[in-house]
Chains A and B, each alone.
Chain A
Amino acid sequence: MLIIGTFEHCIELEQALAILEHSGIPREHILVVPMDTDPQPPIKLATKLGDRYSAAIEIGMACATGCSAMGTCFGFILTWGPIFWGLLAALIGFIIGFGLYLLVNKGAHRHLPKRLPEVTVIVQCPKEQSILVMETMWQYRVLTIGQTPEPS
């Protein structure tokens, strides 16, 4: 049987592979294919600024901090005091920065689902072992599993 499972990058993926190897499946009968979730070369994923929401949060936090410092100053002459105005100004600054970034970069990023099949694992095993292989995968955060008879 050929068992095909897709995973996210996670420690459980390595646990699953370790258990499969220990339960007697030779390493040569396992094929692991890292999948690209982005048109750019995978190496770039290591440092590329992520999806548009984390980039927007980045800008939002920068605005929030600036506004919060100003709100704290003004708070000394306003009714509700520096703490309230500092926090409120931070919130307003964040919303402005976050919103403006999303507005300016509308449609500039691809929309991807939250959980992506980042790694595909293909295991070749005798039919008797296929249940064990699939159970191991389900136990360790596999996203999807497929099976097909071996080519003859």
Chain B
Amino acid sequence: MNKHRRRPLATISMFGITYLQRQNPYLIAWWSAVYPGFGHYMLNQYFRATLLTLSEVTTNTVSHINQAIVFSFCGQFEMAKAVLKKEWLLGYCAIYFFAIWDSYRSTLVHNKLCELAEFENEQLPCIILHPNEIQYLEQRKPWLAALYSFFFPCLGIFYNQRWALAFYGIGWWWVYLLLSHAHVSLMNLLLGNIEASISVLDPQWLLFMPSVMGGAIYYSFMTVIAHNRLYRLEQRQHLLKRYRNSKLRIFS
């Protein structure tokens, strides 16, 4: 572990497990299109992904993109044009498409790096003890992560031990819930007050929610699968090393 590892496949920090993984570049590009930054989360590039999501939520809100999308889909094109703030539009588009392109391009590079790391087969870490945290590779159930993220997005990420990202997401989900009044609307819907349930909603904030929920479910599901594979690989490396001097003979 102390020896310098040139091409490691994964590393463990107090924030969780960071790893290289083969992924489909089109899917990563799609998640970037769903919400700029999500593609980079799937690539384990957490800081830049977080900055991209912050940039997205700010510029989308000040330029009223989500409201314009709702008006456009409902056929009210004049309203859509009126509500958009032109000062922000071109810059928003530039960053939006850059995020898609950059995550696509990075996936291609990561896939190559991942292959090299696999051939290198450096010993994987399995646990770290940090004064404030314990992080380790562990086998988990992917569907459980998806289910938690469905009930409250980012709980599945907490299940994956990426606690800082989980709390960042949980905080934002509360913001979306409060500003879009989605839970109030849901309760009205369940009580049968359909008109009230529609009129209470704020489209600008509501439209962030399907993307965030879908992204959180997908990300937590895929992360469990990746962690399970890393766990298996680490155990294989360990067992082969520990029992390589076996003198057991099956035949005399």
Residues of A within 8 A of B (CB): 2, 9-11, 13-14, 17, 27-32, 34, 42-50, 54, 57-59, 61-62, 64-66, 68-77, 79-84, 86, 90, 118-119, 122, 124, 151-152
Q: How far is the CB of A103 from chain B (nearest CB, A)?
A: 18
- Nearest chain A residue, comparing its CB with the CB of B119: A43
A84 contact set on B, CB distance < 8 A:
189
Complex formed: what's the CA distance from A73 to B214 in Å?
16
Given the interface pairs A27-B242, A30-B246, A68-B210, the reply to whether A11 lies near B118 with Cβ below 8 Å is no
Contact partner of A14 (CB less than 8 A), chosen from B75, B207, B235, is B235
The contact string, 1 if C-beta is below 8 Å from chain A, for chain B 217-252, is 110011001100111110110111011011111111
B226 contact set on A, CB distance < 8 A:
47
Q: What's the interface size class on B, roughly?
A: 35 or more
B182 at the interface (CB under 8 A from A): yes
Contact partner of A46 (CB less than 8 A), chosen from B229, B238, B239, B249, is B229
B182 contact set on A, CB distance < 8 A:
83
B186 contact set on A, CB distance < 8 A:
83
B246 contact set on A, CB distance < 8 A:
27-32
- In the complex, the answer to whether B252 meets A152 with C-beta atoms within 8 Å is yes
For the complex of A and B, the 7 pairs showing the least CB-CB separation, nearest first, are: A65-B214, A73-B73, A68-B210, A151-B252, A81-B198, A28-B247, A46-B233
Contact partner of B221 (CB less than 8 A), chosen from A2, A44, A61, is A61
B239 contact set on A, CB distance < 8 A:
17, 32, 34, 119
- In the complex, the answer to whether B185 meets A81 with C-beta atoms within 8 Å is yes
B225 contact set on A, CB distance < 8 A:
50, 54
A64 contact set on B, CB distance < 8 A:
214
